[in-house]
Structure 1
Amino acid sequence: MRLIFLVALSFTAYVTAVPMLQEETTYPRFIEFPDGDGVMHTVDLEAEPDMKLLEEINRNPANNRYLLYTRRNRRNAQTLVINNANSVTSSHFNGRVPTVVVVHGWLSNQKSSLNDVIRDAYLAKSDVNVIIMEWRRLATSDYATAVRGVPAVGRGLGQFLAFLNRVAGAPYNTMHLIGFSLGAHLVGNAGREIGGRAARVTGLDPAGPLWSNNSNRLRASDGVYVEGIHTDGGTAGLGIGAACGNADFFPNGGKSQPGCGTGICDHNRSWELFAATVTYNHLVGVRCNNMNQVNSNSCSGSRLNMGNDILNKSGSGLYRLNTGRRHPF
């Protein structure tokens, strides 16, 4: 009887110590999902994907644009082309400073607001290479097709990073990959392609629909340090709402954000918060034992700053923080 009691006590302690993940959302067949301009589109999650496009993407995953910005060209992009060494050596790319890659989401492109906001925050803060990846060819397809093509496009980005490493000597341990929504899973696959060697991978409200049980979604092994920032993970939210990195932050509980009245606003708040932390490094999460504590705002563990631009950042677990209604939050 004493042995049974001790086993039961040990099991209880184990369960209490292990963070519980939030139950992932079950989506209806038809949902509303925004494009990069905030315009809503009806998505059929059971639609037949465009197999012809997927076959093309798989044959040529490098069919993307890589637009370089530095302090020497803050507004006028230089195009880097994979396997074209001259496009790199004749540009302002500097392999001796950190490289930040920003990846947009579905139905978006290089002109999406998050690209400019994150780029400007980084270049105002430090001397870095900022590369905006545009994957318009796949991103402008229907959602079901785009989801299925993300792994191939992510591999293409990973191959591009390996190319930069070879041609310009850019170390993997100075690379930070940042993806929003569908782009969050894309940068996860890119990190996987280079063996999880990127210093940081950040998922900004990783997309939820068709990703709950998807083995190609963002995960903790995709980089040396993988961080998720979840802002719209409620019922039928656009974000996945469940932990997917080494450390996962749930601002204001991770379901809805102060100052927002729509799911689009909640979803976009992830990159707005992140950009603000690059500038100020001021948003601090408190570690939680489980999602019940996240939801009830009753966390009392150690503290970890959310976001920021620190390359050697480390941490693990679930974190809750509360923010303001407007920038810098």
Structure 2
Amino acid sequence: NLLYVNVVIMVLKNQESTADESCDNFTDLNLSHCFVGTSLYVRLLLYTRSNLRCGRELNHHHLSSQPLFNVSRPTAFVIHGYRPTGAPPIWIDHIVHLLAEQEDMNIIVMDWNKGAANLNYFTAVTYTREAALNLTGFIMTMEEEGASLSSVHLIGVSLGAHLAGFVGENLKGKIGRITGLDPAGPMFTSATPGERLDPSDAMFVDVLHTDMNSFGLNGAHGHIDFYANGGADQPGCPKTIFAGKSYFVCDHQRSVFLYLCALNRTCSLTGYPCSSYGDFLDGRCLQCEAFKPAPCPVLSYDLSPWRERLLQLGQTKVFFSTTATLPYRKLSYRVDMVTWNQYLRWGVVYIRLHSGKMSERHLKHHKLLRFEQYTSTRLLAQFDDDLQHVQKISMRINTGNVIGPRYKIRLLRIRFTPLERPERPLMCRFDIIMEENMEVAFRPLPCDSRL
């Protein structure tokens, strides 16, 4: 019996080994290929829930030869961007597995590494049109065999976002959805809508921006554009060139990692419609009246709760802030204050939340606030860590006054509203006397209570 078990185990291992050997993997090149330059060659690797660990290369013209492909299922295409080193993207396996968790679908990785791997970026840009024609022909074959264009979702990263846009344009905007992850900026900053990704390329286009001041494209290019930390510099990314490669790619790559986190449902990144990131940080855009009864849009795979309204609104910009590391979400409060002080004062607000031995600090640093008689002031307070049970709040209003008497600022009421945690109670405090530049601590009360 033991011998029989061992033989079975060996057979199974051999089967696994044989299966691994027959897998079709993403093209792996190196710097020597990039120096010489590569000519365009497109491969389409199919993954489904039954072969998540083993891609199958599809014949561009005969889908019936691949039994794993099912035209009745939705199909998501993953399209990478420029590959200056020729190595496979480190995130390919992750996004394939996470997409398979969303729904039962065909997941096709478009491998155009031969073409994207060139030290000359401009060569890769010129190949995007040709690669788009290749993918367009394949999708037309899918349609001929019974697939619906409305069930096709193109997910393009950087240069791949524009490639997806070209495919959508070729198909007259009948593709169901295009997701652009930080669409490439170089060579596209002055492009017309027909020369880059734009909302007309699909029935629905959503875009995430993380590096608009460098490798990403500035502006709005979808029905909804998500701007992480304003869409430019990302927290935790190097600020000097001495960090090496990370200095160049960190902000740009953050779009992929934020999207992976959203697919994994470990991040809940809420976007607030606003005209600018500055207005968002000033607390001017913390409500989503246009989407009621739905909540504010959330960066996610499933945007169906907001889709119809977004199509009615046209192009919508939404902003959110993140931390430097997983799960990226900040704890956000809308802070409303009513002041009653004799003299007009301008100041910067410091807020600290306390829970046991832990504390979290927020600095309102980008703009001075005006405090005067019976004035309502609103600000957005964001904290890196989520303190679930706030026991004490510390607050200081720094006016910069270092000589002369310290003026008093009276807060008739201060209210903390948790933005993404509606199940948590509002916290209030009433009638607090503060001296400028001096910290005061108080215990928050339920907002229906009084001292």
- Name the TM-score class by shorter chain: 0.7 to 0.9
Is the CA contact 2:175–2:202 (under 8 Å) kept in the aligned structure 1?
A: yes
CA shift, 1:110, in A, is: 8.2
Question: Relative to structure 1, is the Cα distance of residues 207 and 113 closer, same or farther in structure 2, using a 3 angstrom cutoff?
Answer: same
Distance 1:136 1:194 in 2: 24
How much has 1:101 moved relative to structure 2?
0.4
Say whether 1:225 aligns with 2:204: yes
Question: Residues of 2 paired with 1:312 and 1:149: CA distance?
Answer: 36
C-alpha separation in 2, matches of 1:253 and 1:207: 17
TM-score normalised by length of structure 1: 0.75
Q: Is this contact kept in 1: 2:297–2:306, CA < 8 A?
A: no
Matched, 1:326 2:325: yes
1:306 equivalent among 299, 306, 309: 299
- CA-to-aligned-CA distance 1:167-218 (integer Å, 9 cap, x gap): 2x22111111001111110011111111111211011011111101123111
Aligned pair partner of 2:148 in 157, 161, 171: 171
Instruction: Give CA-to-partner distance per residue, 1:238-276, whole Å, 9 cap, x none.
Output: 111221111111011111212222341111110111122
For residues 146-157 of structure 1, the aligned pairs below 5 Å read: 146-157=124-135
Question: Superposed, which structure 2 residues align to 1:270-285 within 5 Å?
Answer: 270-280=255-265, 282-285=268-271
> What is the match of residue 16 of structure 1?
none
Aligned pairs (5 A) from 1:65-84: 65-84=43-62
Distance 1:222 1:301 in 2: 30
- 1:120 Cα deviation from its structure 2 partner: 1.3
Q: Match for 2:297: what amino acid?
A: L
Match of 1:93 among 58, 69, 76: 69
How many Å separate the matches in 2 of 1:310 and 1:251? Answer: 17
Bigger helix share:
1
More relative contact order in 1 or in 2 (CA 8 Å, sep 6+)? 1
**CA shift in 2, pair 1:177/1:297, >3 Å:** farther
> How far apart in 2 are the matches of 1:251 and 1:144?
27
Q: Structure 1 residues 313, 163: closer, same or farther in 2, change over 3 A?
A: farther
- Structure 2 counterpart of 1:212, from 182, 189, 206: 189
CA positional deviation for 1:91: 2.9
Q: 2:274 is matched with which residue: 282, 288, 293?
A: 288
- Normalising to structure 2: TM-score of the pair? 0.55
Q: Say if 1:256 and 1:263, in contact at 8 Å, map to a contact too.
A: no
Q: Is the 8 A contact 1:253 1:294 kept in 2?
A: no
Contact 2:156 2:180 in 1 (8 A): yes
In structure 1, stretches of 5+ residues that fail to align are 1-35, 43-49, 58-62
**Hey, what does 2:243 align to over in structure 1?**
none
Whichever residue aligns with residue 272 of structure 2, its letter is V
Aligned partners of 1:199 and 1:312 also within 8 Å: no
Q: Aligned match of 1:115 in 92, 95, 101? A: 92
Amino acid at match of 2:80: H
DSSP-derived class of the 1:75 partner: coil
Task: Indicate the structure with greater strand content.
Answer: 2
Distance 1:312 1:151 in 2: 33
Please state how far the C-alpha of 1:137 moved relative to its aligned partner.
Answer: 2.5
The verdict on how the C-alpha distance between 1:301 and 1:317 changes in structure 2, with shifts beyond 3 A counting, is farther
Taking a change above 3 Å as real, the CA distance of residues 110 and 295 of structure 1, as seen in their structure-2 partners, is: farther
After TM superposition, give the deviation of residue 310 of structure 1 in Å. Answer: 4.6
Conserved? CA contact 1:185–1:206, under 8 Å: yes
Q: 2:104 aligns with which of 120, 127, 139?
A: 127
Q: Does the CA contact (< 8 Å) of 1:179 and 1:187 recur in 2? A: yes
Alpha-carbon distance in 2 for matches of 1:313, 1:115: 28
How many residues end up aligned between the 2 structures? 271
1:307 CA drift (Å):
3.3
